[in-house]
Amino acid sequence: MPISPLLKQQNAGSREINAASLGRRVLASINFPLLFVTAALLAYGLLIVYSAILDNPDYAFSRQLTGVGIGLVIMGALWAFDYQKLSTFAFPLLIVSMFLVLLPLVPGLGVNINGATNWISLFGLRLQPSEFAKPLMILFGAALVGKYRGHINDGREYFLALGLLMLPVIGVMLQPDMGTALVFLVVAMVVLFAGGANRKWLILTIVGMIAALIFIIALDGFLDNVLGVDTLIKEYQKNRILVFLNNDIDPTGISYNLRQSKIAIGSGGLFGEGFGNASQAELNFLPEYATDFIFCVLAQQFGFVGSVALIALYILLFFVSLTIAFAARDSFGTLIAAGVTGMWVFHVFQNIGMTMGMMPITGIPLPFVSYGSSFMLVNFVCLGLLCSVWAHRDNKTRKKV
Amino acid sequence: MNVYLIAAIIGISVFVVVMVVAIVAWFIYGKYKTDPVSGMSFERTGTYDMQDVNRLGRAGNMAPLKGGPDRRGRFYAFGALVAVLFGTLTVKLWTMQVISSDKYSAEATDNMTRDVSTPAFRGRILDRNGVELITNRASIVLTCKKSILETRGLVHRLSLILGIPKGVLRRNIRNDAAGVQADRIIAHDVPMRTVAFIKEHPTLFEGVNIEKRTMRHYPLGNTAAHILGYTGPVTEDQLKSQITWDVVQFERGDVVGKDGAEYAFDRILRGVPGTRTYKVDSSGLPIELINEIEPTSGNDVCLTIDSKLQKETDRILMETIIAARSSDNDNARAGALICLDVKEGGVLAASSYPTFNPADLIGGISSDLWEQLTKKTSNYPLNNRVISGLYPAASTFKAFSSMAGLNFGVIQGDIHHECKGFWDKYGKEWGQRCWIYPGGHGWVGLEEAINHSCDIFFYNVGAEFHKRWYALPDDEKEDVFQDYIRTWGFGQRTGIDLPGEGRGRVPTAAWKHDAFPDTPEESQWQPGDMTNMCIGQGDILVTPLQIANGYATIARREAVKPHIFHKVIDKDGNDVVSHKLEPDETQPEFSDAALNRVIDGLMRVVNREKIFSPIPVDIAGKSGTAEVAGKDPYAWFVAYGPVYDPEYCVACLIEEGGQGSSTAIMGVLHTFAAIYNKKLGAIVARKSESDGER
C-alpha cells in the first residue's frame, strides 16, 4: 500500500522517477500554513496545560503528549487517505455516529459525570464516544449535503436532510449533554448553509428552533410544577442560564465558577502575571482549570497580549481551513472543511466566551489547548481530514484534460 | 520555579524548532513557483477558483460545489460572522484585562491572601510604686475541640496524666465561655513531663493540642481583686458596638478587659495587634507567610494603689467583719474599706468583702463559677461595694447637714437645741427618738451635737430647712438643702475611673413624687423626710466612696475627683502620661469658719474615742449606724488625718455590723495603724466607751 496516492500516480505515470520530483510532490500535498498554525497552537497549548497541571497529581502531562502522538499518527494516515472514498457512505456514517452517541446510554457502560452520561468505561479506559462522533457527524453531513452540489431549493429535500442531520443531535441531547448537542447542531447548520440550502428554509429552521426552545422551556416549567420532579431542563442547566443572564447573581453559589474565571482573566492585565503565576488555578479557586477553564490559566499568565495571540492563531487556523474549503476538488471536500471550521469556531467562541460570561457555561473544551486526549484525538482527525482534502485537491480529470 | 522555567524552555524550543523547520520547508517549496501536481501557482491557493473546476463537471457529490458567487458569498458571510464573534471576544478581553484589570487583580489578591491578627502583649498593671499587680506569664495549655468528648476513654486518660478529676475536665471542655466555636482549654500550666508524654503518644491523645499561651497573672493573688478586675473574650455586643470606638478595634476572639482597671484602661493596656498575611488556597488553608506586621505591646498602667497598704486593708476589712460577727452581729458578712490620698484624690487602697480570685475569671467565666459567684448566699463577691454599694449614710452624714445649716444660716452662732431623747415637733404621732432614748443629751450646740451624734439637734436643723424652703406652695418649694448636699458629691457619680460606680440618691419632693406613683400617700413629701435626711436616714443613699470623698473634701477644703489612674509607662520604662490634679468643676460653698466648727466636732469624736491614741497624728472622724428595714444596723466609720495637714481619709462600712463606733471604727483605726506602722494586735470589736455611741 503506497503511502500516498500521489506516489501511486507517480509510479503509474510516465515521468522520470527522481528524488527531487518526489520531494516536490510530497511538499505540494502539505498545506504549510495549516502546519504552522497548528504547530504554534499545539506548542502554546501544551505550554499552558503544562503550567496548569504541574502540581496536580490528578493530571499527567505525558497523557496529553500521548494524545498528541497518537493524533499525529492518525493525522498522517488520514493525510494519505483519499477522503473521497467516504463520499458514498453517508448512511453508514450516520449509523456509526448514532451508535457512538447512544453508547453511553447502554446500561452498565455509561458513566454519569456532572449530571450527563457522556462517558463510557471500557476495559478500565474512560472515553467520550460523542467526541469521536463529531468528525463522523461532519463527514456524514458533508456526504449528505454534498450531493446537492451547492443548491438545495426543494423543501422536501431540505427537510429530509435536516431531519437526518438532527438525529445525532437528538441522540446527544438524550445523554443529556447540551454542549455537545450544540456542537452537532452548529456543524449541521454550517454544512447546510455552506452546502447551499435555500435561504428561506434556513431562516424557517432557525425560527422553528427558537419556537421549539420556547415550547420546551414552557413545557419544562409546566411539568416541573405538575410532577414536582426536575424534568427536561435540569436545575443546574437553568442555573447556568441564570448566571449567563446575570453574571453576579450568586457569587458564592451558582456563579462562583464564573466569578473565579473572570477574576483569573481580569487579573492577568495587559501582559499577564508571568509564566507559572496562575494563582487562581494553582490555589484551586478555578474549577476544571486544565480542561474547560484552561483559557483562564493562559489569560492570567500571559494577559491580554497572550490571549489575543491565541485568538489570532485560531483566526489564522479558520482562515487556512476556509482556503482549504475553497481549494477542495469537490463539494464533499469543501463541506468537510467547512464543517471542521464550523466546529472549531463554535468550540473556541463558546469556550472563551463562557469564561468571560458572554456565553452560558458548558463543558466545551478549547481545541488543541484543553487537557484531555479524547478531544485532542478528535482535533487531529479533523486536521487529518483537512490534510486529506488539501492533498487530494487536484483531480485526475484535470490530467485527462 | 525551576520546573516552570524548564517547561517554558521546552515549550518555546518546540515552538521554535517547528517554526524553523516549517520556514525552511516553506523556503524550499517557495522555489517552485507552480504546483508540481496541479500545475497551479501556490499563491493562488487562497483564491482557488472553483468555477474553473466547475466547468469540468462531475456526477453526484464527486463534483465540486456549484453556485459560484452565491456560495462563495456564503463563505464570506461565514468569515464575517467569525470576525464579528472574535472581535467581540477581543473587545471583552480588553475591557476585562486592560480597563478593569485593577478590580480583578484586587479580587485575586483578596482571594489568595488572608490576614490573621497576632495578639499584642497586654500591658502590666502596677501600683504607685511600680509593684506588679497584674502581669503576663507564659503557660502551656492543652486545648481541644468539644468533639473530643465523644472519643472513648480520652477524658479518662487525660484525667490520669493530669491528675484532674474527669468531671472537672468534662466541665472545662464543655465550657464555651471563650466562644462556641473556639478551642476549649482542657488544662492550664501543664508540666513539661506531661507535655512530653502526650507528644510521645499522639494516637492516645488525638485531638489534644499543646499550645503556649500568654496568661494574665496576679502575683498578689486576690489582693485588690475588685479594683484590678479581669479579662475575658470580647462579647458579641462589644463587637457590634465598636463602631463608636474610634481608635482601637476589636476582633472576634480578642481578649478585652471585663471589669475594674482591666476594663477602665483597656485601650492603654491592649496595644496594637500585629497582622500576618498568608497565601491561602481555595479551602482557606495557609500555603505560605507573605507578610508580617509585628504587634505593638500595650503600655503599662500604674494605679494610685499602694499594694502594701492594699494588702493590709484587705486583711483588716476581713478581720473587722469576723470580729463584728463574733460580737453578736451574726449577720455581718460583707463590707467595704477605702483609703483616699487626700492631697491628690487618688485611691490608696480599696477593699470590698467578700472577695474573689480574679485568676479564676480570666479567659471567660464558666457558668458553674458564675452561678457560684452570683447566688444570694455568696453575698455577691463580684460587687465592688466601695463604689457600687448603696447604703444610708447615717450619722456620718451629719457633717454635711452641719455644713448646710451653717451655710444657709439655719445654724447660727452658738445656737443650742434641747435633747430630751424624744422629739415631737410634728405631733406625738410623728414623734422621733434620739438614739439615746430613753434619756437625752440636754442642751447641745453644733460641736457637741456632732461629737455625741445628737439626732434631736439635726431634727431641728431639718425642720428649719423644711420651714423655710419646703413648707410652701408646690411651685415655690426649693431644694436648697439637697442642691447644697449634691455639691459635696452626693447623689451623683464621683467620676472615679472605674466601671460600675453607683450614683446614690439625695431625695427631693419631686423624686418622691415620681418614685411612688401608685401610692399617693407615700409619694407626698413629709417634714419627717427632711429631718430624717439630716441624720442620714430615710431615702438618702450613698456609696462608701462618696462618704470618703466628702470627708476628703472637708479635709482639703476643696473638691477633687477621686481617681485610680496614676500614670502610663511605656515598654522602656518612660512615663508617658501622668495623672493631673484638677479641682472639680463644682465646688461646695462654705466659709472657713463654718468648716472649722465642723472639723472641731469631728475631732471631738475621735478624741473621745481613746482607742485612737496610738496613732501619732491628730485624727478627725465620725461614726454612723444605719437603720435598714428588716436588717441589723449597718456600721459606718470615716476619719481623716493628720487634721492640720491632711493626707489620708479612711472610710469603713460593715453590712449588718451593728454599731459603727464598735465595729467599723476598728477597720479605720487599724488602717491608720497600718499607715503609721503601729502594731495594735488582733482586731476585736469593742463595747463602745459611751455605749451605743453612733
What's the distance, CA B174 to chain centroid? 25
pLDDT confidence band for A84 (50 / 70 / 90): confident
Helix axes A19-28, A5-12, angle to 10 degrees: 140
Angle formed at CA B563 by CA B560 and CA B566, multiple of 5 degrees? 115
Map grid coordinates 413648707 to a residue: B471
CB proximity list for A203: less than 8 A, separation 6 or greater: none
| Residue A8 to residue B541: CA distance in whole angstroms | 122
Q: In angstroms, how far is the first alpha carbon of chain A from the final one?
A: 28
Provide, as residue numbers in chain A, all residues whose Cβ is less than 8 Å from the Cβ of B104. Answer: 262-263, 265-267
Can you give the pLDDT at residue A147? Answer: 82
Map grid coordinates 472615679 to a residue: B496
CB proximity list for A129: less than 8 A, separation 6 or greater: A100, A101, A103, A104, A118, A120
Can you give the pLDDT at residue A397? Answer: 39
pLDDT in tens, B426-471: 877 778 888 877 788 888 999 999 999 899 999 999 999 999 988 8
Higher pLDDT, A299 or B689: A299
- Cell triple for residue B168? 472537672
Task: Provide the 8-state DSSP code for B398.
Answer: H
- Cell triple for residue A295? 483559557
| Residue A375 to residue A91: CA distance in whole angstroms | 24
pLDDT confidence band for A115 (50 / 70 / 90): low
CB–CB of A279 and B85 under 8 A? no
The answer to whether the CB of B424 falls within 8 A of the CB of B538 is no
In the three-class reduction of DSSP (H, G, I as helix; E, B as strand; rest coil), residue A368 is classed as coil
Does pTM surpass 0.95? no
The answer to whether the CB of B685 falls within 8 A of the CB of B666 is yes
Write out residues 260-279 of A within 8 Å (CB-CB) of B: 260, 262-270, 275-276, 279
The answer to whether the CB of B150 falls within 8 A of the CB of B233 is no
CB–CB of B89 and A356 under 8 A? yes
Write out residues 167-186 of A within 8 Å (CB-CB) of B: none
Q: How far is B118 from chain A (nearest CA, A)?
A: 24
Q: How far is B178 from chain A (nearest CA, A)?
A: 29
Select from A47, A196, A283 the Cβ nearest to the Cβ of B67. A196
Containing B352, the helix (H) or strand (E) segment is: strand B347-353
Map grid coordinates 464575517 to a residue: B80
B98 part of contact set with chain A, CB < 8 Å: yes
In the three-class reduction of DSSP (H, G, I as helix; E, B as strand; rest coil), residue B653 is classed as strand
Q: In angstroms, how far is the first alpha carbon of chain B from the final one?
A: 89
Q: What is the DSSP string of A250-314?
A: -TTTTTHHHHHHHHHHHHHTTT-S-TT--HHHHTT-STTTTTTTHHHHHHHHHHHHHHHHHHHHH
A358 part of contact set with chain B, CB < 8 Å: yes
Per DSSP, what are the bridge partners of residue A125? Answer: A122
Write out residues 303-342 of A within 8 Å (CB-CB) of B: 303-304, 307-308, 311, 314-315, 318-319, 322-323, 325-332, 334-335, 338, 341-342
- Cell triple for residue B133? 499587680
Q: Which among B161, B170, B172 has a CA at the least distance from the CA of B201?
A: B161
Can you give the pLDDT at residue B188? Answer: 80
Q: Which phi-psi region, left, alpha or beta, contains residue B221 (left: φ > 0; alpha: ψ -120 to 50)?
A: left
Q: How far is A348 from chain B (nearest CA, A)?
A: 9
Residue of chain B nearest A7, judged by CA positions: B37
Provide, as residue numbers in chain A, all residues whose Cβ is less than 8 Å from the Cβ of B28. Answer: 27
CB–CB of A43 and B66 under 8 A? no
Can you give the pLDDT at residue B4? Answer: 53
As a 3-state breakdown, chain B gives helix, strand, coil percent values, each rounded to 5, of 45, 20, 40
| Residue B39 to residue A395: CA distance in whole angstroms | 11
Map grid coordinates 441522540 to a residue: A171
Residue of chain A nearest B22, judged by CA positions: A36
| Residue B139 to residue B152: CA distance in whole angstroms | 28
Can you give the pLDDT at residue A16? Answer: 54
Select from B53, B61, B96 the Cβ nearest to the Cβ of A143. B61
Can you give the pLDDT at residue A224? Answer: 78
Can you give the pLDDT at residue B215? Answer: 85
Residue A286: CB atoms within 10 Å: 26
Q: How far is B115 from chain A (nearest CA, A)?
A: 17
Q: Is A2's pLDDT higher than 50?
A: no
Q: How far is A132 from chain B (nearest CA, A)?
A: 24
Containing B634, the helix (H) or strand (E) segment is: strand B634-641
Q: How far is B292 from chain A (nearest CA, A)?
A: 21
- Cell triple for residue A117? 452520561
Provide, as residue numbers in chain A, all residues whose Cβ is less than 8 Å from the Cβ of B109. Answer: 267
> Residue range A103-112: average pLDDT?
77
Higher pLDDT, B520 or A193: A193
Higher pLDDT, A367 or A110: A367
| Residue A292 to residue A375: CA distance in whole angstroms | 12
In the three-class reduction of DSSP (H, G, I as helix; E, B as strand; rest coil), residue B339 is classed as strand
Ordered by where they begin, the domains of chain B are 1-49 (no CATH), 133-225 (3.90.1310.10), 394-489+506-539 (no CATH)
Can you give the pLDDT at residue B634? Answer: 93
Containing A348, the helix (H) or strand (E) segment is: helix A331-355
Containing B371, the helix (H) or strand (E) segment is: helix B367-374
A256 part of contact set with chain B, CB < 8 Å: no
Write out residues 52-111 of A within 8 Å (CB-CB) of B: 54, 84, 87
> Residue range A245-250: average pLDDT?
76
B94 part of contact set with chain A, CB < 8 Å: yes
Q: Which among A390, A351, A327, A377 has a CA at the least distance from the CA of A67?
A: A377
CB–CB of A327 and B45 under 8 A? yes
Longest alpha-carbon distance in chain B: 151
| Residue B351 to residue A239: CA distance in whole angstroms | 68
Q: How far is B52 from chain A (nearest CA, A)?
A: 10
| Residue B46 to residue A92: CA distance in whole angstroms | 33
| Residue A313 to residue A73: CA distance in whole angstroms | 23
CB proximity list for B487: less than 8 A, separation 6 or greater: B559, B586, B587, B588, B589
Low-confidence residues of chain B: pLDDT under 50:
1, 30-70, 689-692
Higher pLDDT, A312 or A175: A312
| Residue B8 to residue A47: CA distance in whole angstroms | 7
Can you give the pLDDT at residue B544? Answer: 96
Q: Is A398's pLDDT higher than 50?
A: no
Q: Which among A30, A55, A69, A11 has a CA at the least distance from the CA of A279?
A: A55
Least confident residue range of A33-42, A192-201, B504-513: A192-201
* Residue from B18, B104, B105, B290 to probe the interface with A (highest A Cβ count within 10 Å): B104
CB–CB of B28 and A87 under 8 A? no
Residue A122: CB atoms within 10 Å: 11
CB–CB of A143 and B18 under 8 A? no
Task: Provide the 8-state DSSP code for B633.
Answer: P
Task: Show me where the domains of chain A are located.
Answer: 45-197+234-400
CB proximity list for A112: less than 8 A, separation 6 or greater: none
A352 part of contact set with chain B, CB < 8 Å: yes
Can you give the pLDDT at residue A114? Answer: 65
B27 part of contact set with chain A, CB < 8 Å: no
CB–CB of B58 and A196 under 8 A? no
The answer to whether the CB of B544 falls within 8 A of the CB of B383 is no
Can you give the pLDDT at residue B61? Answer: 43
Can you give the pLDDT at residue B248? Answer: 54
Size of interface A-B (CB pairs under 8 A): 241
B15 part of contact set with chain A, CB < 8 Å: yes
Select from A44, A307, A330 the Cβ nearest to the Cβ of B61. A330
SS (H, E, C) B100-165: CHHHHHHHHHHHHEEEEEECCCCCCEECCCCCEEEEEEEEEEEEECHHHHHCCCHHHHHHHHHCCC
Can you give the pLDDT at residue B473? Answer: 82
Can you give the pLDDT at residue A38? Answer: 93
* Predicted-complex ipTM score: 0.88
User: Dihedrals φ, ψ of B87, to 5°?
Assistant: -65, -40
pLDDT in tens, A365-376: 999 999 988 899
Map grid coordinates 444570694 to a residue: B376
Provide, as residue numbers in chain B, all residues whose Cβ is less than 8 Å from the Cβ of A279. Answer: 108, 111-112
CB–CB of B18 and A43 under 8 A? yes
* Residue from A331, A332, A334 to probe the interface with B (highest B Cβ count within 10 Å): A331
AA identity, residue A113:
I
Can you give the pLDDT at residue B226? Answer: 93
| Residue B223 to residue B356: CA distance in whole angstroms | 9
Average pLDDT of chain A to the nearest whole number = 83
The answer to whether the CB of A368 falls within 8 A of the CB of A344 is no
